[in-house]
Amino acid sequence: GFNYTSPEGKEFFKLKYFKKSEVQFESDSCYVTMGENSFSGNLNKYKIRIDPTDFDGFGFNLVLTSNSSPYRPQDGIIKAGESYFAWLAAVPSGKISGNIIIDNENKSISGSGYHDHNWGNIPLQRLFKSWTWFRGKAGPYTVIVAELNTVNNRGGFDIPILFVGKNENTIVDKFGNRELYTMKNSLIKNLYTKKNEPQFSNFLITSDNNISVAITGIDIIENINIFKRMKVPLPVRWAFSYSNIDPYYTRFSSKFTLKLNSGLEFEGKGIMEIMDLQ
């Protein structure tokens, strides 16, 4: 499935389930096919194809070309006993080109792009209660910020991440609360049910060597109830409602300030995402 928000703010979301016989995954490279839809690449260039005949006349043929080195914090794996969650930003910053098809009409597009991937051996809600994630550009710098919030029976602690890159060079690579400090404010109101965790639209992260990123969420791009979006049957949703699981996903267009320890400051724009898994 995929979602697309037009420059006018119109949202498209399409989801289709394929038979096992129609799906192929490679184990040693990024190559995924689902019918005539595909995603393939090698850290330098990726090709993405969505077949409009599968998605009501909506599709695209895109090429994502990286202009940065891949990034992962330490080895990219967060372990809790035998359970683990892994994450790789394959393309922290790249260029997109190609065609998008809306109502079977082709349009050429170009712009900036990003690609990451996560995987693990346990459902996310059994490790994390929520996370805040951000990526943006300020001057010549690419910035990735995240904070993962673990569930109480896995320690109940927060795991901050900060990456700052310039072209193919890594300027900042910080991970964990020994190297990073985070602060949130501006409580988000009227978006979530009372069962959800308090969430905030302003986020500050500061490193132990005085580099900081201050993010302000401006406009909501989308706010979705995960179960409804994924078309989970009503009886299953009712069962989850009694277990106090009510996951929401919110994306903000955002502005931010990057302060380097040289005293230089850079203003930029990006996307902040909040995932509430509880």
Question: Could you tell me the two tokens for 75?
Answer: 């080895």
- In the DSSP assignment, the letter for residue 153 is G
Positive or negative: CA dihedral 26, 93, 251, 164:
positive
pLDDT at 241: 54
Separation of alpha carbons 198 and 206, rounded Å: 22
116 and 134 in a single domain? The answer is no
- Identify the CA nearest to 177 among candidates 150, 137, 199: 150
pLDDT at 230: 64
Residue 1: predicted pLDDT: 82
pLDDT at 4: 86
Considering 63, 95, 122, which residue would you say is the last residue of a domain?
A: 122
Q: What is the pLDDT of residues 28-64, one digit of tens each?
A: 889 999 999 999 999 999 999 999 999 989 999 999 9
Range of the domain at 198: 123-278
Q: Comparing C-alpha atoms, which of 39, 116, 121, 132 is closest to residue 78? A: 121
Instruction: Assess whether 100 and 139 both reside in one domain.
Output: no
- Across the 278 residues of the chain, what is the mean pLDDT of every consecutive 10-residue run? 82 88 92 96 95 92 96 90 93 96 89 93 88 96 96 90 94 94 89 71 95 95 74 51 66 96 96 88
For the chain, what is the domain count? 2
The pLDDT value recorded for residue 171 is: 94
Q: Within this chain, do residues 104 and 137 fall inside the same structural domain, yes or no?
A: no
pLDDT attached to residue 20: 93
Nearest to 222 by CA among 267, 256, 271: 271
If asked whether residues 159 and 231 sit together in one domain, one would say: yes
Let me know whether 260 and 245 are in one domain. Answer: yes
- Mean pLDDT taken over the chain: 89
Task: Give the pLDDT of residue 272.
Answer: 95
Are residues 62 and 98 in contact, defined by beta-carbon separation less than 8 angstroms? yes
3-state SS string for 56-72: CCCEEEEEEEECCCCEC
User: Using an 8 Å Cβ cutoff, are 241 and 225 in contact?
Assistant: no
Based on the domain organization, do 128 and 211 belong to the same domain? yes
129 and 255 inside one domain = yes
Domain end position, chosen among 100, 122, 144: 122
Burial class (CB in 10 A: 0-12, 13-18, 19+), 53: exposed
Q: What is the pLDDT of residue 197?
A: 66
Q: What is the CATH number of the domain that holds 180?
A: 2.40.370.10
pLDDT on residue 242: 46
- Residue where a domain terminates, one of 80, 100, 122: 122
